[in-house]
Structure 1
Amino acid sequence: MQSQETQWKEEFETEREKLAHAYRERLRAELEAADKVYQQKLKNELLEQSITLQRTFASTVRDQVEQERDGRLGKLNELSSSVQELEKLTAEWNSVVDANLKTQHLTVAVEAVKSALENQVVPKPFITELAALKEIAADDAVVSAAIASINPAAYQRGIPNSAQLIDRFRRVSQEVRKAALLPEDAGAASHLASFAMSKVLFKKSGLAIGQDVEAVLARTESLLEEGDLDAAAREMNGLQGWAKVLSKDWLGECRRVLEVKQALDVIATEARLQSLLVE
């Protein structure tokens, strides 16, 4: 029986690794395809701009030559200035293209990290994705500060996604209910009594009113299902006694998730601001 369980575990781990590998390959392929499409689009736009600039330049030269025909080239300096202005405009356009590419790559990298975190089967490290994001951002002080604000334990061990946090909360809430009636110095008898009383407690749901344990648990679960992790963590942080002790680890996970989410939101906002400045 033990051998069969071990075999099942090995088969499960093998299948999980296959799924994770397939997902990484698909994500990499999608990113490469998106990048190629974007690169080609920029090349086409730059080519069109170059053709337009060449035509403008040719037209300017033709007009100048016509005005100065018969050997009168008194306005040669003006023509030279036009050429220099054209070269300046071309250099500025190249800078705009480079900035657009950097912004696009930064946005894609942020979305890649978010996707990797939300679609994972179990929490796993995301050091590689974060390193790629930092490399793309280069010397951007805002992005560097946002990445530095993330607890190393988060990207070294991974963080749970929304569904995993809700599942863990429901398991924690069962233990909290059992300990809801315990004083801080409770002994074995008190634990048994509290466990028995927890069976007859009325379970609340939705945005319940009150500060009792059942109301707090109901509000927390409702907020989690709505995606408001910050408010849910604040609710659980208000518990006292054994209830707060039992929810300490879950609250720690919430803090790490919120730190990562806030850092990624800051980086995404920075990318949008850079895009607006380029435009």
Structure 2
Amino acid sequence: MEIARPSHGKSVGEHRPVSERLRRPVHCRPPLQLETSTTNKRTNSQDVYHQERSPGMARKLLKFLILFDNTNLLYFPGQFLSGRVLVELEEDTPALGLHFHVVGEGVVRVKSPRAERLYDRENYIDFRMRLLGEPGQGSVLLSPGIHSFPFKLGLPLGLPSTFLGKHGWVQYYCKAALREPNGLTHKNQQVFIVMNPIDLNLEPPILAIEHKLGVSCVNSGPVVCRVSLDRGGYVPGETIGISATVLNNSKVTIKGTKASLTEVTYNF
């Protein structure tokens, strides 16, 4: 199969002034969960989303799944996103086309002091392809049984990592839609994770911070605290070793110290 390279929207890292980028009102989609489709215990398959609810039509489609070759759903920028859309039919089914859509987006939602919700949205990936059928042609008759439609495309370099925060998120997902001539459209979607690795060799070998705290007492000196780490970056599962010294030049007794790990996010 021919490998496809996606064309994406606004380049990563391109920013406009906040006054131009924030709009209202908010009509943005909430972040998807990793399991976007529920599981049917009887058939052990993902449920299918239909545009119209017709029991007779829905019975023809037993399974409609998006399956990735990488089962842990984790990808890095520059890697290939590959897999297949699996369709299992109970009887002969005409299809106008099978559409596949890969989306990567960043969304920011901020509540202003006047209780107005401001938001901005940025596209990182917006790639569409047909896995079945051609524009302007008639329907294709799919026989009963299992049909597999492979896909493969390269993820752009420089993609931001998947993120979910209080005021925004970065998410990546695939959508598939199978259209029938009678107007019925079967839909499903699946999230995947993108992680942009950090080169720890570019981080400082030793990270040190010194903070001087003044104490409001007469003839009392400052309290100086110096904290250092053995390096400036860590990977999940590693132990963070902290070295700290406290020089108390004040007349106040220090009863104890503690360290905490805090995540800081910036929404532009």
Rg larger in 1 or in 2? 1
Q: TM-score range by the shorter chain?
A: under 0.3
User: Which has a greater percent of helix?
Assistant: 1
RCO comparison, higher one (Cα < 8 Å, 6+): 2
| TM-score scaled by length of structure 1 | 0.18
Decide which structure has greater strand share.
Answer: 2
